[in-house]
Chain A
Amino acid sequence: MVEMAIFIDVSKCTGCRSCQVACKNWNQLKAEKTTNRGTHENPPDLSANTWNRVRFNEVVNDGKLQWLFLNDRCRHCEEAPCMFAAEDVPGAIIKDKSGAVIFTEKTKQLKYEDVRGSCPFDIPRYDEKTGQIYKCTMCIDRITNGLKPACVTACPTGTLNFGPKAEMLKLANKRVEQLGGDAAIYPGEEYNTFWVLPETEENYGLEAKATVSTSRKFAWNKILSPWGTLGLAAGFIGCLSKADTVTDQEQTR
C-alpha cells in the first residue's frame, strides 16, 4: 500500500458530526454519559471511547461572528513521539506502511502518562476497564481492505478526504491557495492526517505550531532519559488541556 493520508478541509465542515457517530459505529465504541454544558459540543473531550470529535468555537474577529468547527483526532505523525514513549515494548505502537500509527493491545504494558504526555496533541486515552490505550486507528481494518475510513465515508460535505498522501497534499495545497488569507496546512506536511485551516490556529483553540518542535525536543529528552518524562508530561497536559477546553462558552464569556 502506498502511503495514505486523511486530509481535513475545515472550510467545508458544517459541524454535523456524522464523523463522530460513524467512528463510534464502526469501532463499536460506547456512548458517554454527557450533559449540555451550555454548548453544542459534546463529548467534552477525547476518550478511550471517543476517537474523533468536533470542537465548536465561537469567535468574533473584526466584529464578525464566526462559528468554527474543527474535527480533532490523531495526526498520525510521520515521526510519532508516542512511539518513542513506547520503544520499551516492541509492537505496542506501530507505524504501519499505510501511514497509520496503531496502538495495539500491547499498550497495556505501557505507562499511560508517558504515552499521553509524549503526544504534542494530547490524543491518546486510557480505558481503565481494559487497561489499554486508545485513539484513532485510521480505520486500519477498513483501509487495508479497500475501504475508506468510516468517518470519511460518512462526511457529507467533502471535509474529510482519504487517499494517497501525495494526492491529499496536492488537494490541500490547492485549497490553501483557493482560500487565501490565513489559510494554512496544519500541523504540517509530515503527518498522515492533516488539516487546512482557513483561520489561524488560535481561532480553533489549537496550540501554536511551537508545540510540534517542543514535542521533538521532548522526544529527544525521552531518548536521553527514559524515566524522566513524568514531570514534563504533566506540564504538557496542563498547557494542552487548557487549549482543548476553549469551547463555545469560554470564548464568548
Chain B
Amino acid sequence: MTNHWIDLKNSDCILAMGSNPAENHPISFKWVTKAMENGATLISVDPRFTRTSAKADIYSSLRSGTDIPFLGGMIKYILDNNQYFKEYICEYTNATFLVSPDFKLPGDNDGVFSGLEGTKTKEGYVNGKYDKKTWAFQMDENGIPKKDKTLKDPNCVFQLLKKHYSRYNLDKVEQITGTPQEKLLQVYKTYAKTGKSNKSGTIMYAMGWTQHTVGTQNIRTMSIIQLLLGNIGIAGGGVNALRGESNVQGSTDHCLLFHILPGYLKTPKASQPTFKEYNQVYTPKSNDGMSANWWQNYPKYSASLLRELYGTDVSLEEAYTYMPKLDDGANYSWLTIFDEAYKGNINGLFSWGQNPACSGANSNKTRQSMAKMDWLVSVNIFDNETTSFWKAPDMNPKEIKTEVFMLPCAASYEKEGSITNSGRWMQWRYKASEPPGEALPDGDIITDLFLKIKKLYEKDGGTFGEPIKKLRWHKHFDSHVIAKEINGYFLEDKEIKGKLYKKGTLVPSFAYLQDDGSTSSGNWLYCNSYTEKGNMAARRKKSDPSGIGLYAEWSWCWPVNRRILYNRASVDKNGKPWASDKPVISWNGTKWTGDVPDGGWPPMSAGSKSRYPFIMQKDGYGQIFGPGRADGPFSEHYEPLECPVEKNFMSPQFVNPTIKRWDMEGIGTKMDARATCDPRFPIVCTTYRVSEHWQTGVMTRWQPWLVEMQPSMFVEMSKELAKLKQIKNGTIVTVKSLRGKVDAVAIVTQRFKPFTVAGTTVHEVGIPWHYGWVTTAERKYDSGDKKPELFTFGDSANLVTPNIGDANTMIPESKAFMVDVIRKEGS
C-alpha cells in the first residue's frame, strides 16, 4: 500500500477491483464503512457479486482477465472528457516527457510495442523479449529528459497515452469484457470525479489483479489512472495492494523472493563478479539536480547489508563474492522450481510454513514433482497435503522414494517478533503462550539447522564452504537482537553532520548508512525501526495530531515512519495541500508539518533547493510511461492463456508475448497442457477465498467453528448455466480442466450472470482454494494420523489451474482459465 488501512476512511471514492475486501480483508471494512458514512462512494467490480458488492453503491461485473480493457476505457474517458488533474500531471508526472520518435504503439505494430524479439506463430509472438532501445526518453544537451509542458508534442507521453488508449472505446471494451456500456460509463464517471484537486479516489486490489499473465500491467493501468487524477500521495488515495497474508509485506521486504535481497536490493547475477560492477549496474544516475533519485544511495545499502551478513573481518569485496549469484536470464520462481523438480532436477525441498501441494498452480504437477525428490522437509503447525503427499488417495506409497520429515513449529502467537502489514506498519507482537510439545519457533529451527551445517563444513570441508563458515550467526535466536541488526549499527565512531555517533550504537535512520563499510543494516528500509530510542514497532500511542488517522506513534512504518508514500505530491508548488480538509503534509514557510515528508527539501517553488515528489524514480516524476516493465511501457490487453474467445479483439497478438510458456511443443510435458477456446472446456473459471478460511486451509480446516460455516469445496455458477448443465443447487458436481478435476458442491446463484462477449454467451464459475484431501472423511486415516473434529469436503482448486506466470512476477494465472462443470451421476 502506498497509503494504509486507516487512510481508507479519507477517500471520496473507493474502487474495489481485483479484490473482495469485505470477505478477505474484513477489518478493512471498518474504514471503508467510515468513508461511506462520510459520503464516499464504493464501487465493486468483480465477475461475481460478492459480499463487497453487497455493500457497494455501484456493482459492475466483468469477464475474468479483462481488467485492462475495462480500465483502459476509463483512461480514454478521463482524457476525452478532460477529467485529469492538469497541473499535477504536468508538474509531477512524466506526461510531458518526449519519447524516442522510433517508439511504436501496439495499435501500429500488430499488438506489440516496438522492439519485440521472439518466435512468431499464428497467435502472434511467443516467448518474446523486448529490446527497449526505442522506449527511451529523448534527452537534452545536459542528459535530462526533454519535456513539453503544453502536452502537444506527438511524441510526448501524454499524446502517446491518448493515442494508445483511444483504441479502448466503449464498443471494444464491452465486446471484450462483457460489461454493458451503461455500467462502464457509470463506473468511469463516478471514479473520474476524483480528478478534482481536493478529491481523492483509492483502489483496493489483491490477487484478483495480480494472478494473471498481465497481472503487473493490471496494476500499471490503475497507477496511470491514479496519476492522471492526481490521486497519488494524498489522503484517501494511492495504489493499495491488500496483501494476502498478515505478513506478506514483511516477507517481501525481507527478501522471500529469488530476485531480491532485503530492502528490494537486487540479487547479484553471475555477470556481476565484483561488488563495484554490481553497484554500478543498480545505481541509477540522473543529471537533473532537482531529482532526488533516491536509489543513488544503493551502494550504502548494499554495503551495509554485506556488513550485517559477514561482519568487519571480511572485506566488502570478499563478502560480495560469497553472495549467491543468479545465472543471467535464468528464472528461479515457484513455477520453475516445480517444473525442474518434475523433470527430476531438484532433489530436495524445504516447505516452510506453506503447503505447495494445494497452494501451487497445477497441483497435480506439483504433487507429482514431490514424488521425484529424495527428501522433503515440511515445517508447519498441522499436517497438510504437502507433508502427507505420499499417502494421498491417488498416490502409492510403495512407489514413492521421497523421505519426508515433519518439523512442528510454533504458531505466530507462540513467539515474539514483528509482522509488517499491508500498510507497511511494522507491529511488534508478544508471545501469548508456549508452543506445544516439540514445536519450536522458526528462528530456532533455522538456527539449529544453520549451526549444524556450519559444523559439517568445518569438519568435513566441502565446495565453497566460506560463505557458510564466515556468515555471522548467533548461537540462539532472539527476535530483539535480530530486529536491531535489521536496523543496523555503527561499526566505528563516525561523525555525521557535526555529530559523533559511537561505534556499537544503532543507526538512527538510513540517511546515516555508509558505503565504506562503517555501518551495518540488515534491511535499509527498516533502518529507523529499532534505534537508541527503543523498539519503534512496539509503540502504542493512540493520539493522532495529524487528524487524518496517521497515528504516527502507533508502531512504526517504513520508510522512516512515513505513513503515506509520495506525500510531496499532495501539495502544490508552494507546499499547500491540494485537499485542505485532509492535509498529509504542508509547508509553513520554514518546515513541513504533518506526515514525515518524502525528504525535507522545501516545496517546488524553492527551485533548485527543492526536489521533485517522486523521489524513488530516477527522474523524480510519476511514471505514466513505465519503461521498466517486461511487457510494455503502457498496458495492452492480451487474453488469458486459456480463454473463451478464439482471438484477441484488440489485435493479432493473442496472449502476452513475453510470458514464459511451458505448453509449447518441445518445452513442457503433457502436464503443462493448455486448452483455449476448446469446446471441451467452454466455461471461464476463477478462484477466490472466503472469509471463513485462510489460504490452503492448513490453519482453518482443523478449526471446527470455521469448518461448520464453510464445510466444503463449492463452485458458484449462474442459474442459466445450472439450467444448461442440469445442475441442481446443493448437489455435487465435478469441475474439470485439461490438467485435473475437483469435486464441489454447486451453489446456484443470481450473483453470477453469463456474459455477452462479442455477441456470444460466455459462462463463468468460481471456486475457492482452501480445501484439501487431508481433512476429508473419505481418506484413509492410519493410526497416529490426526483426525479433524469436523471433516471437510473436497480438494484444492489448484488441481485445475494452469502453470503460467505473469511476465514480470511469474505469479500464476489462477484467476482466469477454462473448465467444464459436470453433473455427477445420480445427482
Q: List A residues at the B interface (Cβ < 8 Å).
A: 12, 14-18, 20-21, 24-25, 30-40, 42-43, 58, 60, 65-69, 156-158, 248-249, 252-253
Q: A18's contact among B26, B711, B719, B745, by CB below 8 Å, is which?
A: B26
Q: B30's contact among A37, A158, A248, by CB below 8 Å, is which?
A: A158
Contact assessment for A12 and B790 in the assembled complex, using a CB-CB cutoff below 8 Å: no
Contact assessment for B30 and A252 in the assembled complex, using a CB-CB cutoff below 8 Å: no
With A249-B729, A249-B748 given, is the CB distance from A14 to B712 under 8 Å? no
Whether B750 is near chain A, meaning CB under 8 Å from some CB there, is: yes
With A37-B730, A39-B747 given, is the CB distance from A17 to B54 under 8 Å? no
The chain B residue sitting closest to A248, CB to CB, is: B749
Contact assessment for B730 and A38 in the assembled complex, using a CB-CB cutoff below 8 Å: yes
Contact assessment for B51 and A25 in the assembled complex, using a CB-CB cutoff below 8 Å: no
Query: For the complex, what is the distance from the CA of A21 to the CA of B793, rounded to whole Å?
Result: 20
Contact assessment for B709 and A42 in the assembled complex, using a CB-CB cutoff below 8 Å: yes
Complex contacts, A36 vs chain B, CB 8 Å: 710-712, 714, 730, 745, 747, 793
Stretch of B355-363, B365-373, B699-707 that contacts chain A? B699-707
Contact assessment for B30 and A31 in the assembled complex, using a CB-CB cutoff below 8 Å: no
Q: B790's contact among A31, A37, A253, by CB below 8 Å, is which?
A: A31
**Other A-B pairs, 9, CB within 8 Å; known A14-B52, A67-B751:** A16-B26, A17-B691, A35-B745, A37-B730, A38-B745, A38-B747, A60-B750, A156-B29, A253-B729
Query: Chain B: interface residue count, which band?
Result: 35 or more
Complex contacts, B59 vs chain A, CB 8 Å: 65
The chain B residue sitting closest to A250, CB to CB, is: B729
User: Smallest distance from the beta carbon of B576 to chain A beta carbons, Å?
Assistant: 34
Contact assessment for B30 and A16 in the assembled complex, using a CB-CB cutoff below 8 Å: no
The chain B residue sitting closest to A25, CB to CB, is: B705
Complex contacts, A38 vs chain B, CB 8 Å: 729-731, 745-748
Binary contact track B696-727/A, C-beta < 8 Å → 1, others 0: 00000000111111111010000100000000
Contact assessment for B751 and A65 in the assembled complex, using a CB-CB cutoff below 8 Å: yes
Query: For the complex, what is the distance from the CA of A17 to the CA of B712, rounded to whole Å?
Result: 17
Contact assessment for A58 and B750 in the assembled complex, using a CB-CB cutoff below 8 Å: yes
Contact assessment for A31 and B23 in the assembled complex, using a CB-CB cutoff below 8 Å: no
Whether B690 is near chain A, meaning CB under 8 Å from some CB there, is: yes
Query: For the complex, what is the distance from the CA of A40 to the CA of B747, rounded to whole Å?
Result: 8
14 A/B residue pairs, CB under 8 Å, sorted by A: A12-B33, A14-B54, A17-B691, A21-B706, A31-B708, A33-B790, A34-B790, A35-B711, A36-B710, A38-B745, A38-B746, A38-B748, A68-B54, A156-B29
Whether B27 is near chain A, meaning CB under 8 Å from some CB there, is: yes
In the A-B complex, the 4 residue pairs with the closest CB atoms:
A38-B730, A31-B704, A38-B729, A67-B54
Contact assessment for A20 and B709 in the assembled complex, using a CB-CB cutoff below 8 Å: yes
Query: For the complex, what is the distance from the CA of A16 to the CA of B689, rounded to whole Å?
Result: 12
How many residue pairs between the two chains, A and B, have CB atoms under 8 Å in the bound complex? 114
User: Smallest distance from the beta carbon of B183 to chain A beta carbons, Å?
Assistant: 13
User: Smallest distance from the beta carbon of B533 to chain A beta carbons, Å?
Assistant: 33
Contact assessment for A156 and B706 in the assembled complex, using a CB-CB cutoff below 8 Å: no
Query: For the complex, what is the distance from the CA of A20 to the CA of B22, rounded to whole Å?
Result: 16
Complex contacts, B117 vs chain A, CB 8 Å: none
Contact assessment for A17 and B747 in the assembled complex, using a CB-CB cutoff below 8 Å: no
Q: B54's contact among A15, A30, A42, A60, by CB below 8 Å, is which?
A: A15
Whether B332 is near chain A, meaning CB under 8 Å from some CB there, is: no
Query: For the complex, what is the distance from the CA of A31 to the CA of B708, rounded to whole Å?
Result: 6
Interface centre among A16, A25, A30, A43 (most CB of B within 10 A): A16
The chain A residue sitting closest to B728, CB to CB, is: A38
Complex contacts, B104 vs chain A, CB 8 Å: none
Complex contacts, A20 vs chain B, CB 8 Å: 705, 709
Q: A42's contact among B49, B711, B729, by CB below 8 Å, is which?
A: B711
The chain B residue sitting closest to A252, CB to CB, is: B750
Complex contacts, B751 vs chain A, CB 8 Å: 58, 65, 67
Contact assessment for B747 and A67 in the assembled complex, using a CB-CB cutoff below 8 Å: no
Contact assessment for B719 and A252 in the assembled complex, using a CB-CB cutoff below 8 Å: yes
Residues of B6-58 contacting chain A, CB below 8 A:
22-23, 26-27, 29-30, 33, 49, 51-55
Complex contacts, A43 vs chain B, CB 8 Å: 708-709
Query: For the complex, what is the distance from the CA of A69 to the CA of B55, rounded to whole Å?
Result: 10
Interface centre among B59, B706, B710, B749 (most CB of A within 10 A): B749
User: Smallest distance from the beta carbon of A122 to chain B beta carbons, Å?
Assistant: 21
Query: For the complex, what is the distance from the CA of A192 to the CA of B709, rounded to whole Å?
Result: 27
Interface centre among B27, B55, B745, B751 (most CB of A within 10 A): B55
Contact assessment for B730 and A34 in the assembled complex, using a CB-CB cutoff below 8 Å: no
Query: For the complex, what is the distance from the CA of A79 to the CA of B536, rounded to whole Å?
Result: 54
Query: For the complex, what is the distance from the CA of A221 to the CA of B271, rounded to whole Å?
Result: 91
Complex contacts, B33 vs chain A, CB 8 Å: 12, 157-158
Query: For the complex, what is the distance from the CA of A24 to the CA of B708, rounded to whole Å?
Result: 11
Complex contacts, A249 vs chain B, CB 8 Å: 729-730, 747-748
Complex contacts, A60 vs chain B, CB 8 Å: 750
With A16-B26, A68-B54 given, is the CB distance from A34 to B719 under 8 Å? no
Interface centre among A24, A25, A36 (most CB of B within 10 A): A36
The chain B residue sitting closest to A24, CB to CB, is: B705
Query: For the complex, what is the distance from the CA of A17 to the CA of B711, rounded to whole Å?
Result: 14
Whether B692 is near chain A, meaning CB under 8 Å from some CB there, is: yes
Contact assessment for B708 and A14 in the assembled complex, using a CB-CB cutoff below 8 Å: no
Query: For the complex, what is the distance from the CA of A185 to the CA of B705, rounded to whole Å?
Result: 31
User: Smallest distance from the beta carbon of B201 to chain A beta carbons, Å?
Assistant: 21
Q: A14's contact among B26, B705, B746, by CB below 8 Å, is which?
A: B26
Contact assessment for B730 and A156 in the assembled complex, using a CB-CB cutoff below 8 Å: no
Query: For the complex, what is the distance from the CA of A150 to the CA of B53, rounded to whole Å?
Result: 27
Complex contacts, A157 vs chain B, CB 8 Å: 26, 29-30, 33
Complex contacts, B53 vs chain A, CB 8 Å: 67
User: Smallest distance from the beta carbon of B702 to chain A beta carbons, Å?
Assistant: 11
Contact assessment for A16 and B22 in the assembled complex, using a CB-CB cutoff below 8 Å: yes
Q: B51's contact among A16, A42, A248, A253, by CB below 8 Å, is which?
A: A16
Query: For the complex, what is the distance from the CA of A52 to the CA of B719, rounded to whole Å?
Result: 30
Query: For the complex, what is the distance from the CA of A66 to the CA of B44, rounded to whole Å?
Result: 13
User: Smallest distance from the beta carbon of A54 to chain B beta carbons, Å?
Assistant: 9
User: Smallest distance from the beta carbon of B778 to chain A beta carbons, Å?
Assistant: 14
Contact assessment for B711 and A34 in the assembled complex, using a CB-CB cutoff below 8 Å: yes
Contact assessment for A156 and B30 in the assembled complex, using a CB-CB cutoff below 8 Å: yes
The chain B residue sitting closest to A159, CB to CB, is: B33
Q: B690's contact among A18, A37, A40, by CB below 8 Å, is which?
A: A40
Query: For the complex, what is the distance from the CA of A35 to the CA of B794, rounded to whole Å?
Result: 12
Query: For the complex, what is the distance from the CA of A68 to the CA of B541, rounded to whole Å?
Result: 38
Complex contacts, A69 vs chain B, CB 8 Å: 51, 54
Query: For the complex, what is the distance from the CA of A60 to the CA of B23, rounded to whole Å?
Result: 21
Q: B708's contact among A16, A32, A37, A40, by CB below 8 Å, is which?
A: A32
Complex contacts, B749 vs chain A, CB 8 Å: 58, 248, 252
Query: For the complex, what is the distance from the CA of A37 to the CA of B751, rounded to whole Å?
Result: 16
Complex contacts, B692 vs chain A, CB 8 Å: 17
Query: For the complex, what is the distance from the CA of A26 to the CA of B160, rounded to whole Å?
Result: 60
The chain B residue sitting closest to A59, CB to CB, is: B750
Contact assessment for B789 and A31 in the assembled complex, using a CB-CB cutoff below 8 Å: yes
Complex contacts, B709 vs chain A, CB 8 Å: 17, 20-21, 34, 40, 42-43
Query: For the complex, what is the distance from the CA of A226 to the CA of B261, rounded to whole Å?
Result: 78
User: Smallest distance from the beta carbon of A64 to chain B beta carbons, Å?
Assistant: 9
Complex contacts, B714 vs chain A, CB 8 Å: 36
Interface centre among A20, A65, A66, A253 (most CB of B within 10 A): A65
Complex contacts, A65 vs chain B, CB 8 Å: 49, 59, 750-751
The chain A residue sitting closest to B55, CB to CB, is: A14
Interface centre among B30, B692, B708 (most CB of A within 10 A): B708
User: Smallest distance from the beta carbon of B541 to chain A beta carbons, Å?
Assistant: 22
With A17-B691, A249-B730 given, is the CB distance from A42 to B705 under 8 Å? no
